[in-house]
Amino acid sequence: MMRSFPINTKLLPVLLLFLFIAGSAAADGPKEINTEKGPHHRSVFDMPVYVVLPEGCAFVKSQAGCVDKTKKISLESSVIRLPYAALLEEFTEKNLKKADMELKMKDEFIWNGSSAMLMKIFQKKGSGMVGKWTLIIDRGNECWIINGLYPAKDQQRGEAVLKTIKSAYWENGQSSPPAEIPQGNVDVYGTPLKLAGLLDGAVVYTKDGFLPTKKEDGSLFVVSRISNTFVTPDKQAGFAKEKLQMIEKGEKIDIISEKEVMIDGLCGIEIVGYTAGGSKKLIYQTMLFDGKNSHVMVGIARSSIPENLDLFQSTAETFKTAR
């Protein structure tokens, strides 16, 4: 079994947002599930996984899957480039509690010929609670994650989401296709950065292609998009600073530089800062505005700061919006 790797303070909450873990495994070994693809199965994810959507819902496409905003139900997918056993070892009850998550249950299966873990968790969100069913699927050197979110207090919607997750079908021989990145693209050719995973619509690069990274500097570079958010030019700097302070949960970020940039014909704001705590980390953010969406690039490193800052800046300058 592959040993576990430490998750840096930025990456743990990010990963946990997509891998809400839960309870106690079956004592007699994994059960076997084999689903068959029927006429009601739909493709709503980037990877070749098909599900039967809940009845009575009006889903629209989202960055990571689909969502019914009225019923507050969403389905999301992501790819983690880490072997199944190593990934599961990272998510302990202690780590989950640090991320304000309540462990509910988990069960292990042989699902369509693949090892899989089905989990349930509740997480605080503002004054409310979000429920989530998560299916983690072993795909060799990577894992597929399918998430179903719903209001935690609504048992009927939770059962509908669980039914959809249980309908999941994939062909065991297939791997995930090359990623199409609607958020926009950066050119990492000739740099140390490698694609590490797709997390809830965000594209994550690390220097070894793993999440969490095993590199000593803990560096990662994330490309994401805030859709349907028009920010007037006079409010863009304030909006960018507000989002910057949300990167490191529970840590204030001291800004050391701020400047306007122009990348791919888009105006934006570049901000460089450091975490204010005892373990100083570089926090880099460039936010670009296209009149409808905000494109966000974030770089984080805990050492080799001058070199990583140069890397983050030069990578951000290659950004191209999806055409």
DSSP string, 151-188: ETT-HHHHHHHHHHHHT-B--TT--PPPPP-TT-B---
Domain span including residue 258: 194-316
Residues of the chain with pLDDT under 70: 1-30, 90-92, 172-183, 200-201, 322-323
- Tell me the HSE value of 98 on the side-chain side, using a 13 A CA sphere: 16
Residue 270 lies in a domain: yes
DSSP of 91-113:
--HHHHHHTTEEEEEEEEEEETT
Residue 82 lies in a domain: yes
**Predicted local distance difference test score (pLDDT) of residue 22:** 32
Residue 176 lies in a domain: no
Residues in the chain: 323
| Peptide bond before residue 13 is cis, with ω within 30 degrees of 0 | no
On whether both 27 and 144 belong to a single domain, the answer is: yes
> What are the start-end ranges of the E strands in the chain?
31-33, 41-43, 50-52, 60-61, 65-68, 73-80, 101-111, 114-125, 128-138, 143-151, 194-199, 202-206, 220-226, 253-263, 266-275, 282-289, 294-301
Q: Is the dihedral of CA 258, 259, 262, 263 positive or negative?
A: negative
**Number of independent structural domains in the chain:** 2
On whether both 53 and 132 belong to a single domain, the answer is: yes
**Predicted local distance difference test score (pLDDT) of residue 184:** 73
**Predicted local distance difference test score (pLDDT) of residue 254:** 94
Amino acid at 50: Y
Q: Which residue has the tokens 């080799």?
A: 304
Among 124, 150, 166, where does a domain finish? 166
* pTM confidence score: 0.57
Residue 52 lies in a domain: yes
Backbone angles phi, psi at 219, to 5 degrees: -75, 145
**Predicted local distance difference test score (pLDDT) of residue 13:** 52
Long-range contacts of 277-283 (CB under 8 A, 24+ apart): 277/251, 277/252, 281/9, 281/10, 281/218, 281/248, 282/308, 282/309, 283/244, 283/247, 283/248, 283/253
